Structure 1
Amino acid sequence: MRKILLPILFFSSLSVFAQENVLQYVKPITGTQKMGHTYPGATVPFGMVQLSPDTDTIPYEMNGKYNPDVYKYCAGYQYEDKTIVGFSHTHFSGTGHSDLGDFLIMPTVGNLQLNPGAADHPESGYRSRFSHSTEVAEPAYYKVKLEDDNILAELTATNRVGFHQYTFPGTDQAHIILDMMSGIYNYDNKDVWTFIRVENDTLITGFRQTNGWARTRIEYFAMVFSKPFVQYGHQNYAKDVYKGFWRKFDQTKNFPEMAGKQIRAYFDFKTSPGEKIKIKFALSPVSTVGALKNLRAEIPGWDFEQVKQAGQALWAKELNKIQIASTSKEEKENFYTAMYHAFINPTTYMDVDGAYRGLDMNIHIADGYTNYTTFSLWDTYRALHPLFNVIQPKRNADMIQSMLNHYEQSAQHMLPIWAHYANENWCMIGYHSVSVIADAIMKGNAPFDVNKALDACVTTARHRTYDGLGYYMDMGYIPEDKNGSSVSKTLEYAYDDWCIAQVAKKLGRTDIYDEFIKRSTNYKNVYDDSTGFMRPRLNDGTFKASFDALQTHDQGFIEGNAWNYSLYVPQYPNEMIAMMGGKKQFTSHLDSLFTMELPDKYFAETEDITRDGIIGNYVHGNEPSHHVAYLYNWTGNPWKTQERVRMILKKMYHPGPDGLGGNDDCGQMSAWYIFSTLGFYPVCPGADEYALGSPAIDKATMQLENGKTFVVDVKNQGDKNVYVQKVLLNGSPLNRLYITHEDIMNGGTLTFYMSAKPKK
């Protein structure tokens, strides 16, 4: 059965490709320049392997201090670079923090060099120059010419296996280097332990354990060559490694066990001109035995093209869940590239038999569902997971089950905050697993124990020792002199608490509803009526004296300022507007946000705020503002929402290396684009409503998992016709500025009539 799996995938995909070859519109190179932090390599939807080139390896620290250049390499690749160091098997997509980059492989010829060398002198090491003119990046496929050694590198992947194909020149000095030191977070590798075992002349196994951003991350591998190597060896760059009884062996050459913190291994071959050496490289979170099972199950043979086509068939199936019509090729490229990026994370985290490593470092079995990891929840709760509830509901339910597993395995008894590879990184603020869980329950996508899920949410939200929660629970806000980013935390906790209250109400648990609906109004406690902004308060109850509404640091905010965060009350938009002076004054505030010009000094305070990611003082490159353009709907000015949304779509996205106006953040930026292009957006996940905007395509057909179809049909759409004149739902006038989740799930047609003139 396993041997015929790939042919079945390939031939069954023919009907998918017949719909339209949407793969031609996907540009994985988009976002690889500047701050997008995406990678161009090979992966399949939600795949455990992300096999991609790394263009440099930057130490996290220089002279004992944080090295700001490391921020550029969160995905291992920067479009401006001229050399490739190698191809590693794990990568984040679009994050603002670095990690992974496991098991870097590099093919070379000539004299063996085990140091990567310098970017300005690649001949000093094993790295190679490359040109974008020979680079091809497609879904599930990557190709590039390594110019220094005249090697053609090709990559593809299944869920758990990376497949390399290297075309060599004729030589007696062909090498495959396996760099176990290289990593995207901590290249000096003081906190890495690696092990390699040569099983025979084609099979290698081992593991890599790191202490980086994730402090106890371990990954196993099984590596198979398509032809036997003639000899092998390694260099251990740590000092005093060969001690005691091990000195009885020469471990540096043809010795089958290699262990240490700083190991680079090599495998030598003789090749004829144009000969291909192929490598299958399987990962496992559990064991080398698990990696071998994954390898044999997913790629039993050596047909590179077949594996590539099977991977692209998987992408075609997922991308065709939304079929769009547009006269603009660029629009199709933007849309399907956004879908591609949205379907990379979260990633599968289990072997083919369901085994995975839990947060408790024990081995567990996912029975009847897929276990996932890579949860950048501060970003993705806003639009990515709501998007999954529409077009990937089964996967989203499995993701929530994975979060609940995390809770059960957590020594702190908390849901994930920012988790990957059986580790909790405690990155960013809030407890937004709550939002993801509530959104699924309120939208009827909850094939799990909803009362146990609510209990997990409540326990997490009552964790007094977590990030200022004790102050929040006792005082109704977090004092800035006790806990930093206090305003942002207070506002985000209040929103999450509202989500808990909605679920409690639905489940009839009145005591929990009463507790958390009261907590959800704590946003009022950090609003300063004298300034018209949210403002940090101190432990004595007074507002912080020195206050700059345009600054982020030391003002109680994170990844935003008072102008942006004062608009973050998604659970109570009407009450927020009234509190800030009413619809007219609030509209003026929104207008100023988009049109004001920030002085240069406000762009120097952090590396992820640049003019590339902002419009006026609206920061699209950071997520707290992603709902803001839609707030005009609550002021009686929906035409301004329509105008702003279309402006953001044009300014922040285009199909090029620098085509993202900020980190893609595991698909959140892309999910915003998908929703907004379709003409609606989840301003408040946990509610069942989507605010209407301005669709930027002619038609979209959404194939829902329940077998129904939801169509967005746009009449007279164009770059100038951004204003909505009327909306019909299934032929009847829609006399409201939102649609419901039920409207979508029931199937039908949403028709927009557009014009160049606003309907005020």
Structure 2
Amino acid sequence: MKKQLFVGLIALLLTQCAVAQDNYTQYVNPLIGTKKMGHTYPGATVPFGAVQLSPDTDTLPYSVNGKYNADVYKYCAGYQYDDPTIVGFSHTHFSGTGHSDLGDFLIMPTTGKLQLNPGTAAQPETGYRSRYSHSSEVATPDYYKVKLEDDNIMAELTTTTRVGVHQYTFPKSDEAHIILDLMHGIYNYDDKNVWTFVRVENDTLVTGFRQTNGWARTRIVYFAMTFSKPIASYGFANFKTYPYKGFYKRFDQSNNFPEMAGEQIRAHFDFKTSENEKLLIKFALSPVSTANAIENLRIETPGNDFATIRKQGEQKWNEELSKIKVETLNKDAKANFYTAMYHAFLSPTVYMDNNNQYKGLDQNVHKADGFTNYTTFSLWDTYRALHPLFNLIQTKRNNDMIKSMLAHQEQSVHKMLPVWSHYANENWCMSGYHSVAVIADAIVKGTNTFDANKALDACIQTANVSYYDGLGEYIKRGYVPDDIRPNSVSTTMEYAFDDWSIAQAAKKLGRMDVYNTFLKRSQNWKNVYDASIGYMRPRLSNGSFRKEFDVLSTNGQGFIEGNAWNYSLFVPQDPEGMIAAMGGEKKFIPHLDSLFTMHLPDKFFEETEDITRDGIIGNYVHGNEPSHHVAYLYNFAHQPWKTQERVRMILKKQYKPDVDGLGGNDDCGQMSAWYIFSTLGFYPFAPGSDDYQLGSPAIKKAILQLENGKTFTIDVKNQGDKNVYVSRVLLNGKEFKGTTLKHSTILGGGVLEFVMSSKH
């Protein structure tokens, strides 16, 4: 009997160890990137969730005295680690963007005298904000906890896909309040709030909506909020008065009146609490209606058990994080890797209700038929590595995201695929039409479940909207003239790459007329290359190159988020042609070497407010995406060992498991996707191709769980911090030559073995 008991205990311990090993959330630190310019948020969300429930540490006006307020840039995600106070917890956030919106429906618990102003960071006692300490702060996937010191309230947050769940532990108080601030928002333009509405349905249910005119110009979000105990009393304050006073004379709306509408509203809901009493709030969002928000709430959170909801969120994260199982040299590397996966799986976000309804680009209600509809498409960033990562390990989601893009195109009056879109709006941000690269990547790799020919037609239509951002001139002349459009060179370069991706999809589908047309367009990069100086250069309508020109400057030189140095290397569709144009390998290699070693003048940093010195290596700007393929260019110049050492250097310098551990904006997961690929040892150099370029893996072992049921294992021998060079590669036990790995090879499953060395 004792022997059986002993065996049983051993089995139990082994089972517990196995469960612990499968808890990938323990390696994730959502606070990474919350300091300086990473622009990540630490709050609760499930993978690709429609709700991002997170603390906001401050809110600043977008402009002061009619001028842009540079300090507002810090708050793209609403939270800055060094701030001493928390204003409240809002339900929508972007992760890692360089511009912002959102910050909807801020909730803040308080006690004592009612205050409906947020106060200031210097004097939080003048409002409802509170001091806090990082010593009480806990951030893990789908869970956030912090003590609000001024009111002695413990705040805990978790979510489902469409519901934010708050649990506040109060002290004993006859004056406990929940503040609902509908004025609050990230990037507060003077006229951002168009209209808000709140309706008290009964003593535990509140509904309403918020309409804003921010980055998204016509955005409406509906909500339904429930309390775990009846409201004792409530009231509203409208912080904008109106000329017509007749209605207000007939009704006193300030206390216990069941509805309020206006541009600038804050509401309060009052309770009496006993010592350590927990108040649960469930807050559901909908893009369509309050009725749908109520349905979302009832379907996703039928009970009031905070711990159960939190556990379900953790399980969702473990399911997603387990798609790549890695062994690393140390715990810091594992934290970096799984936090990168966490950040990569935050967006795009689900944008439809449980009944599949969503608000379309045409502002009508649509129903997603057979797919999950997504929004938050930061495509100028994410087409480079994030969507190729999805295409590899989130194949079904990536297909649904593309179907969402195709629905966007159908609803567009321009019949264009999304450029940078969120919440039924096109922001028209950045250059290019990079949806086509995402679509082409799926078609070429054969992973598409959408109608490939119909999707290609949408790509062709998008690439021929002549009035979009100099596109007509580009089609006519082969370049965007600098005297007609700003950022003319980078726009030309981005268009040329997108055209190449369309050509690759057309070739895959046997549509050779389309292939020939767009392959020719993909060579338009040559039209802005000035061979006399060896750089891309702005070109005027008369065909001449602009005379006043500085290859290091980013200010009005024809480029966006880069300079002539950076963009002269942006020809991923034709690296061999680019190297030849620059004088061949003998001239190109020292030129590329100098990118990483040169010293930039101070004026470079003065001109570029969104880049810190921490994010730059020489003139290589890792925080700006046009450089993300550059380290892999050495492969095309027959010096792969330099790709290997550069990749490992970038990994080490730009990614650290600290609050300021990101060398630039994470940009909706693109920076994280670069880390994931490069750590694994290969990178999607040109999305729209079946090829990856090999680099230098920084893990000991990785197992990719593919959606076709197969696994692809990366096994690294003789790994070490100094062993950055690849001396040998084997695929399924056989010698692997060259630096190009096929996507089809990965999908077939197998083992890719790297043997590392300290010498090349």
- State the TM-score, normalized to the length of structure 1: 0.97
Q: CA deviation at 1:641?
A: 0.3
Shift of 1:15: 11
**Distance in 2 separating the partners of 1:635 and 1:580:** 12
Q: What is the match of residue 107 of structure 1?
A: 109
Structure 2 residue identity aligned to 1:410: S
Q: Structure 2 vs 1, CA of residues 70 and 14 (structure 1 numbering), >3 Å: closer, same or farther?
A: farther
Q: Is residue 707 from structure 1 mapped to residue 709 from structure 2 by the alignment?
A: yes
CA distance in structure 1 between the aligned counterparts of 2:704 and 2:136, rounded to whole angstroms: 36
Partner of 2:249: 247
For residues 552-589 of structure 1, the C-alpha deviation after alignment (integer angstroms, 9 at most, x for no partner) is 12211110111110000000111110011101111111
Aligned residue among 466, 484, 489 for 1:464? 466
- Could you tell me which residue of structure 1 aligns to residue 352 of structure 2? 350
- Letter in structure 2 aligned against 1:302: N
Partner in structure 2 of residue 283 of structure 1? 285
| SS of alignment partner, residue 455 of structure 2 | helix
TM-fit CA distance, 1:393: 0.3
The one-letter code sitting in structure 2 at the alignment partner of 1:617 is N
Give distance in 1, aligned partners of 2:740 and 2:29.
Answer: 32
Cα separation, 2, equivalents of 1:241 and 1:175 = 31
How far 1:14 moved relative to its partner?
9.7
State the AA in 2 paired with 1:98: S
Name 1:540's counterpart in structure 2: 542
Higher alpha-carbon deviation: 334-343 or 21-30: 21-30
2:4 alignment counterpart: none
1:480-507 deviation per Cα after TM superposition (whole angstroms, max 9, x unaligned): 1111111101111001001111111222
Q: Is the 8 A contact 1:241 1:260 kept in 2?
A: no
Structure 1 CA distance for aligned equivalents of residues 244 and 262 of structure 2: 10
Residue aligning to 1:412: 414
Please give the alpha-carbon distance, in whole angstroms, between the structure 2 residues aligned to 1:533 and 1:684: 21
Displacement after TM superposition at 1:240 (Å): 2.4
Q: What corresponds to 1:6 in structure 2?
A: none
Name the CA distance, whole Å, in 1 between partners of 2:99 and 2:305.
36
Equivalent position SS for 1:520? helix
Larger mean CA deviation between 279-288 and 179-188 belongs to: 179-188
In the alignment, is residue 585 of structure 1 matched against residue 587 of structure 2? Answer: yes
Amino acid at match of 2:753: T
Alignment correspondent of 2:42: 40
User: 1:632 aligned to 2:654?
Assistant: no
Distance 1:190 1:628, change over 3 A: closer
Q: Are the aligned partners of 1:282 and 1:292 in contact in 2 as well (CA < 8 Å)?
A: yes
* Contact 1:495–1:571, Cα closer than 8 Å, also in 2: yes
Q: Identify the residue that residue 149 of structure 1 maps to in structure 2.
A: 151
Q: Distance in 1 between matches of 2:164 and 2:189?
A: 22
Correspondence 1:463-612 to 2 at 5 A: 463-612=465-614
The offset of 1:185, in angstroms, is 2.0
- CA deviations on 1:436-485 (whole Å, 9 max, x unpaired) are 00001101111111111111101110011000111101111111111111
- Following the alignment from structure 1 to structure 2, what is the Cα–Cα distance between the partners of residues 323 and 49? 27
Matched, 1:137 2:135: no
Query: How far apart are residue 190 of structure 1 and its match?
Result: 5.2
Q: Indicate conservation of the 8 Å contact 1:16/1:317, yes or no.
A: no
Label 1:675 to 1:554 Cα distance change in 2 as closer, same or farther (>3 A).
same
Check the 8 A contact 2:124/2:131 in 1, yes or no: yes
Determine the structure 1 residue equivalent to 2:183. Answer: 181
AA in 2 matched with 1:445: T
Measure, in 1, the Cα distance between the counterparts of 2:680 and 2:400.
26
Q: State how far apart, in whole Å, the 2-side matches of 1:445 and 1:16 are.
A: 33
Partner SS state of residue 419, structure 1: strand
Instruction: Give the structure 2 partner of residue 5 of structure 1.
Output: none
Q: Residue by residue, what CA displacement relative to the aligned partner does 1:55-102 show, whole Å, maximum 9, x if unpaired? A: 001111111121111111000000010000000000000000010000
Q: Say whether the 8 Å CA contact 2:27–2:338 is kept in structure 1.
A: yes
| Structure 1 residue 239: Cα displacement | 1.8
Instruction: Map 1:348-387; keep pairs closer than 5 Å.
Output: 348-387=350-389
User: What CA deviation, in whole Å up to 9, does each residue of 1:713-733 have, x standing for no partner?
Assistant: 000011000000010011111
Match of 1:697 in 2: 699
**2:525 is aligned with what amino acid?**
Y
1:292 and 2:294 equivalent?
yes
1:138 and 1:151 mapped to 2: Cα distance? 20
Give the Cα–Cα distance (whole angstroms) in 1 for the partners of residues 692 and 732 of structure 2: 17
Would the aligned equivalents of 1:350 and 1:371 in 2 still touch at CA under 8 Å?
A: yes
Q: 1:27 aligns with which of 23, 26, 29?
A: 29
CA distance 1:16–1:432, change in 2 (3 Å): farther
**Cα shift at 1:648:** 0.2
Q: Give the distance between the partners of 2:611 and 2:115, measured in 1 at CA.
A: 39
Asked whether the equivalents of residues 481 and 488 of structure 2 are also in contact (C-alpha less than 8 Å), the reply is: yes
Which amino acid in 1 is paired with 2:218? Answer: T
Contact 1:181 1:187 in 2 (8 A): no
Shift of 1:420: 0.2
Given that 1:236 and 1:264 are in contact with CA atoms closer than 8 Å, whether structure 2 keeps it comes out as: yes
Match of 2:83 among 81, 98, 101: 81
Residues of 2 paired with 1:241 and 1:750: CA distance?
72
Q: 1:511 deviation in Å? A: 2.0
Residues 1:219 and 2:232 are matched in the alignment: no
Q: 1 CA distance for matches of 2:506 and 2:445?
A: 14
User: Is the partner of 2:607 in helix, strand or coil?
Assistant: coil
Deviation string for 1:621-640 (max 9, x for gaps)?
00000000000001111000
**CA shift for structure 1 position 188:** 4.2
Contact 1:181 1:189 in 2 (8 A): no
Is residue 264 from structure 1 mapped to residue 278 from structure 2 by the alignment? no
Kindly provide the CA deviation profile for residues 393-435 of structure 1, in whole angstroms up to 9, marking residues without a partner as x: 0000000000000000001110000000000000000000000
Determine the C-alpha separation between the residues in 2 that align with 1:397 and 1:262: 40
The one-letter amino acid paired with 1:340 is Y
Aligned to 2:9: none
In 1, the alpha carbon distance for the partners of 2:264 and 2:297 equals 26
Letter in 2 for 1:490: T
Q: 2:624 aligns with which of 619, 622, 625?
A: 622
Deviation at 1:20, TM superposition (A): 2.3
The structural deviation recorded for 1:607 is 1.4
Moved over 4 A (4+): 13-19, 187-190
Distance 1:311 1:348 in 2: 15
Residue 7 (structure 1) aligns with: none
CA distance in 2, matches of 1:389, 1:431: 19
Superposed CA RMSD in Å reads: 1.2
What's the counterpart of residue 52 of structure 1?
54
Corresponding residue number in structure 2 for 1:204: 206
1:245 is displaced (CA, Å) by 3.2
Q: Against the structure 1 CA distance between its residues 291 and 541, is the aligned structure 2 distance closer, same or farther, given a 3 Å change threshold?
A: same
Greater shift after overlay, 63-72 or 377-386?
A: 63-72
Deviation sequence 1:5-51 (CA, Å, 0-9, x none): xxxxxxxx999946522111100000001110000000000000000
The separation in 2 between residues aligned to 1:55 and 1:282, in whole angstroms, is 22
Distance in structure 2 (CA, Å) of the matches to 1:311 and 1:261: 35
Report sequence identity in percent: 71
Q: 1:753 to 1:619 in 2, by over 3 A?
A: same
The yes-or-no answer on 1:666 pairing with 2:668 is yes
| Corresponding residue for residue 171 of structure 2 | 169
Contact 1:477 1:525 in 2 (8 A): yes
- 1:682 to 1:22, Cα distance in 2 relative to 1, 3 A: same
Q: Partners of 1:532 and 1:304 in 2: how far apart? A: 61
Hey, what does 1:449 align to over in structure 2? 451
Residue 191 of structure 1, CA deviation = 3.5
In the alignment, is the contact (CA less than 8 A) between 1:16 and 1:313 conserved in 2?
no
1:242, distance to aligned residue in structure 2 (A): 6.1
CA distance in structure 1 between the partners assigned to 2:676 and 2:733 by the alignment: 24
Mapped to 2, the partners of 1:447 and 1:190 lie a distance apart of: 39
